Structures are given as C-alpha cells and as structure tokens.
Amino acid sequence: MNIAITGANGYIGRNVVRNLVESGHNVISLVHPNDEIHRFLDGSRVIKTDIFSLAAQDCIDIFSDVDCLLHLAWQAGFNHHDPSHIQNVVKHFNFIDHVTNSGVKNISVAGTMHEIGYYVGEIDANTPCNPSNPYGIAKNFLRQALITHSEKKHFNLQWLRFYYITGDDKHSNSIFGKILRAAEDGKSTFPLNSGEMLYDFIDINELSEKIKIRIESGVSGIFNCSSGKPKSLRTAVEQFIEKHKLTIKPEYNVFPAREYDSMAIWGKDY
C-alpha cells in the first residue's frame, strides 16, 4: 500500500513508519518544516510541510497515488488544556477534506481515550463521550465531524483510539519519559498522585503493529488500539523503575488526581 502519515516524526509516528516500511509498504512521511528528521523515517519519502497551509492542488500533487492517510499530527497532546486544541480542530478537518478531495478513500485518524471524559470501566466503540478538557473536546468534535463527512463524501474512516503508551521512553513526553529524565538529572524521588488509578498501558511497538493491522484491513469504524488490560499507575511506574534499574523512588500522594481522570478506565481489545 501507499500510505501517507502526518506527524511522522513524532513519538508514535516514527515507530509506525518504521513498522510499515519494514512490512513492505511505501510510506510518505509528512513532517513539520522545522523538524530534524528521525532515523526511523529511513526508507520512507519525507516531505517537510505545514499541512494546514496545503492548498487543494498541493494535496492532489502529494496524495494522488496514496491509498491511505494516517493522520497522527496533533500539537500539544500532553498538555490537555493547551488552547491549540480548540484553535486547530477545524484546520485538521479542512486538511482531511482536502486529502479526500484528492482521491484518497481510506482515512485513519488518531483518537484518544480522553474523548470519553470521566468514565469507570471498559470502553468500546459505543461508549458515550462527554469530554471535559480541551484536548478531549477537540478530538471528540473531529471524530463526530469526520463520521458525518465520511458518510457524505463516501470515504472509509477509521478512528483509532489511543490510551497510555510506553516504550521508546527517552523520546516521549509521557510520565515514563519524565521519570527517566528525572533520574538522569540525579533526582532521588519523583512526585505522583496516589497511583491507584487503573489505566490501559500499551508498548509503542505493540501499538504500531495494531495500527498497521487496522490500516491493512481497510475496515471502517472506531477501534481501540489498547492492551485491553487495566493496570494501576503505581504498578506500571514501579515495574518501569525496576526494569530500567533506576534508583529514583516514586513519591505518592504529592498531587491530587485531576478531576477528569477516572479511577479505572481501559479499552476493549478487539
């Protein structure tokens, strides 16, 4: 398949690019003009561009031979209250509309469990969404708008819902990446909340494989890209520290839980 990936130079993107290239797919990696290209993008065709500035003809030039767009690009995903989430969401919609107008019939888009809002239990494709932070609100809006648009424009839409990702931690902004950097800075403790919440953690390599399988299937729908197994944050952190043989100690109950964080939420793996 000919697959174009936005956000290809990001934490998720570069691992997905490597997996798809190694599986024999032809990959176009779309990266921000200011990015230094990651080595995992070797073997793909790299295009530096601001996707929001692409005109209709630009999209025809880039995507005319593309079978599938995987849209991962998203600013400030780890800052759930960043104003860019709301400010840019229509730009994401317009970009995807330009891509479908250029003839691409398969669109896969990164979602997030934060679309759901406060919820306790297992999430599936039919779980009601009531997001309570700008990140979740923007993603939820984009999903709803694209579902309606796909029915009107007759393209296949996959909404790939992501959870908590581990692995390649030196290059991530996750809590595990932050623990590594704190340990490298010589800090003896790392502050956390209670750590009792149950979350869905998935390794980046497993996530990349799930994304590849979904793209190859061509089946439309809302899909969890998750482990399907709830694990407490406390357990995940302590296993991470032990695995990497770190001397840093977790310090619990320093921070309160965020009001929009569920005490137990995970994805149904299907």
Same domain, 120 and 150: yes
> Residue 48 phi/psi, 5° resolution?
-90, 120
Q: Say which CATH number the domain at 171 has.
A: 3.90.25.10
Q: What pLDDT sits at residue 84? A: 98
Helix, coil or strand: residue 186: coil
State which H helix or E strand residue 189 sits in. Answer: strand 189-191
Structure tokens belonging to residue 20: 């798809």
Same domain, 171 and 67: no
Q: Which of 135, 163, 164, 199 is catalytic?
A: 135
Q: What pLDDT sits at residue 100? A: 97
Q: What pLDDT sits at residue 171? A: 83
Spatial neighbors of 78 by CB under 8 A, at least 6 apart, are 173, 174
Same domain, 26 and 74: yes
Same domain, 128 and 251: no
Q: How far apart are CA 145 and CA 163, in angstroms?
A: 21
Q: What pLDDT sits at residue 225? A: 96
The whole-number mean pLDDT for each consecutive block of 10 residues of the chain, a chain of 270 residues, reads: 97 97 98 95 97 95 97 94 98 98 97 95 96 96 98 98 93 92 97 96 97 97 96 97 97 90 89
Same domain, 44 and 90: yes
Q: What pLDDT sits at residue 224? A: 97
Spatial neighbors of 235 by CB under 8 A, at least 6 apart, are none
List the beta bridge partners of residue 6.
30, 71
Contact between 48 and 32 (Cβ < 8 Å): yes
* Structural domain total, the chain: 2
**Which domain covers residue 76, as residue numbers?**
2-164+201-225
Q: How far apart are CA 31 and CA 240, in angstroms?
A: 30
Q: Is 199 a catalytic residue?
A: no
